[in-house]
Structure 1
Amino acid sequence: MKRLRAWILPILVLILFALIPFTASFYYQQIFFYIFLFAGVGFAWNLVGGYAGQLSLGHAAFFGIGAYAYALLAPHIGTGPAVLAAAVLSTVSAAPIGLICFRLRGPYFALATIAVAQLLLVLATNQFKGLTQGAAGLLVQGMVPDPSLYYWVALGFMVVAFAVTALLATSKTGYYLMAIREDEDTAQTVTINTPLYKLYALLVSALLTGVGGSIFAANLGTIQPNDVFSAAISNQVVFLAILGGAGTLYGPLVGAFILEFASDWLKNSVANVTWLGDANAFAFFLYGLLIVLVVMYMPAGIVGTVAKWRKGRAAHVHAQRTTAGV
């Protein structure tokens, strides 16, 4: 019964999301598309960065591999098989990356993941430009006949990513990952195979991220290496997860909502203020400032902070009732 109640909120939220296309314009449908897409990728990152505590700053590597795999294969094998191939290639690429990078810890691991993503960016731009068309861009075959249908594609992707995260987080694997996050050395002493479980989390994360990259490319219609391998993709995924609450179930979705709407509002609100100079640069400055303030004053993220407040409030009420009973 308790497990059933835990799914009531996700089901109600899903019903609400399903009603949005009937009331929102195409512009806002596209905003929600990016919210759902990056929330799904945020759920994927959360398995590694939130639950396992491994700060990956290079998830654009898997995102870009998925995007280019879909773009190159879709005209030849169809959209469905191309998405599947993108997921497989992203997962396969994560194995050697994980085996190499997981030998490092802390900031060295984070720097290694950045280096991998930047290496792929350079290769896609220069060395493999005959395949990727480099900075000229590569046309991408669409997944659906109507652009408004991408809303449902992104929503479905987010639901799958959320379900995978929820199932893993509440399983033995999830508890092992959290043990690794809290103290990897202690986890090893109690016979948890830490390299295996970290790699397992990365493989699942890469699979979902690759699917997200393929959906992004199909919706965009044309891609360049800077669109999918850039540090901006990795940073956006990390920021939204940390803002919402890394290591929490709903954190990436909350973070995606706030960052996407905040970014859209800032760009539109400062676009006509000429004394600010470059409106986009100023918007990104405020966008970054918001993230810094949240990280400084709400290190557990919004969902984590609310959960701590509710837990503290419940403990206070319980203590008062106990005192009154005595």
Structure 2
Amino acid sequence: MKSSLSALSSSSSRPAVPEPRVSVWEQYKKCKYLLVMLIPLFLYYLIFEYGPLYGVQIAFKDYQIRAGIWESPWAGIKHFDYMFTASPEFYRILWNTVVISFYHLIFGFPAPILLALLFNELRIGWFKKLSQTISYLPHFLSWVVLGGLLITILSPTTGAVNAVLEWLGFAPIYFLGDPDYFRFTLVVSSIWKEIGWGTIIYLAALTGIDPHLYEAARMDGAGRWKQTLHITLPGIMHVIAILFIFRTGQVLNAGFDQIFNLYNPAVYSVADILDTYVYRVGLTQLQYSFTTAVGLFKNVIAFSLVLLTNYVVKKLGQEGIL
């Protein structure tokens, strides 16, 4: 017994032997099969994300198709100067983009959070799964399909919505042709399409909350509302913060697919955004350099907003992305 205790004390008094350092190359070699699986992802980003950055220089050139990007003459900041000083439509289109994106952010961003909280309160298993499945379905339909569906449903003469309004004694509304209602229609239809898909991340975050916290809250007399306010929302706040940063970076992406399939000349004054303007002027009028400058301006603003939002979120005590 004494010998074993002495051996134990002598072994505990010995200095710990540091583990041998493993070189970076050996770590890569150990995980070589995982790295091979990453090759398609690297190729995707190289070809489709970083490769096109070569064409950004078009914004600083008078691009000519026959001369190509490299041989086209330099123009400096001429296109940016025209965009800010001489373009008659730029500021109106920028304002439309900001307003529509602001509506999407204010009303569209909280919607999946609220729906996820409601799903989390459902206790009947089959009904919960059925409700989630139904809410996911519109996400898998393109705006080409949904655009035709909305045009039919919201028609002022044969649409089902206006038929209900007339039955209730209201005058029919041209939702897709009246500037007063078009932005409202955009926001509501966008929420309807994406609200179910947006709940997936929040529902996954809700499963990570310790159930014992709810039990302790119930023992202290807290109802469902106080449990949600003091346990559920703080438990997923880090996820909300990260997704809010990403969403802020898309402020100037007001939804090209949706607007392109729903708008018409009657609502250009409130519906024309930077993306549709770039498409119309760049492809139909062949002003490639000017529209590249507009796109570069939009991306610089988006990157700046991501940095600013990340800074604010970290100051508020949440984890950022940088």
Q: Which TM-score applies when normalising by structure 2?
A: 0.24
The higher-RCO structure (CA 8 Å, 6+ apart) is 1
Q: Which TM-score applies when normalising by structure 1?
A: 0.24
Between Structure 1 and Structure 2, the one with more helix by share is 1
